[in-house]
Structure 1
């Protein structure tokens, strides 16, 4: 229902796909080959839902619907054992099929879909299932069928993969004879933690009477340090006072670029609950933030 409300149309695709496509999407094991397939184009059990959805996109394009958005909920197979079968929700957007609408518009040219469209869809699915997306960590290790640098993985800790999202790799699209840009996501429903029984009572609203205090920090970091690492470190520096951390600037040019560094700036919001913060209190939290970010990333306050 959530994905339909976001403009995606539900599709039901075959669980059998060509062996070449299965290998392109991490499958193709001998144990997943059918002994007596319907046809040579349906000889392997699907390792994920994306191959079928991309084929459906291609058929839509061939019939004049190039800006299509599809999703599917179904089983896929990592291996031949029963525990290798998993439940996934996946979706694809092609061309200009963004959440705000695709195709031509009087207000200007529509933009192509990108990784942020796919991430927003994945996050919406997690939220609809009762999982707080803020608890997930974003990493760059998406599978090979996603575009490197334009994709990511949502994790819960180092071992649990909740979702992949991003733009489909051009080489993968070329194998499928598909030219339009495609953004895709996969959410692994079996990986979600069990949810506690919901109470009918609404939680108490905790509204502070005191004004928040905001401080800006700019850190010099190695170029490959993810912004999420800085945000998590800063947010954990003082959980009682820090209510929000937002990235507002990234600088990667000049001497910093030559040294393999970048500058990343964040705004840290402090929310007092019992008394107004003094300059000494604010400085103490600032020192904690600087120390926490340095310990987690090696970043130094930019002078």
Structure 2
């Protein structure tokens, strides 16, 4: 008996009716089955056809057949998920998925007032996300890994299985005799996440059997600290103004300047400064003691520049 999966589902209480993202893989199969059994007649499924591999049509047919057996209505959405130059394939697919979620919620599911969608990411996915963030030198937002619940485009998303290890999910399906798809792309170690899954997770499991739980606690601590920094940044932005006044910024510590500038750029312009860009901007703010001192630094797709007594961001 898989108690962690069952405990996770008992604790899961989204708004109903509920949409479930369903790929046909083990994780989303378990989530869809558990939700359909808990809320019969209140669940609808969405399958995203990425069109990135030859087996994609077979995946779609499997999902159609399984949903028919469950009696769960299914929407299949085809997306263009090929990545642009400089964009990772994972990011391109993720962006396409969320665009599809939003479109389906606004179109096919609007008549059912579905504003909650469940996604089947689990404890191993959480560990992989945290390890990826560490390899990239991420700050607290990255080290916070994935939230169990968040809002985007008027939709509330849920990850009810974040505390359930992947092997336990597959074991539960085997106990039930439920078939699922094994996506061959998951074995392609060209992708960093797949290398982590194939090489690092088994080693961690052997050396630190409780690593999933301890990593999850670390991610939760990082998320709590990030939430506190966001509160401080929002308060500081009120004090320094929007756009920020340079002299007001100079009264703050360098760490708080960095914190409030990240917050200003992200919330006002959806721009994110790299560590190098932010370091240079902070140096320029510190050196800005005369009227003639100019500031113009690349940030995201635009530039932060001095405008009078304050800062401005523009996209030429």
TM-score normalised by the chain length of structure 1 = 0.27
Higher helix share: 2
**Of Structure 1 and Structure 2, which has the larger fraction of its residues in strand?**
1
Q: Relative contact order: is structure 1 or structure 2 higher (C-alpha 8 Å, sep ≥ 6)?
A: 2
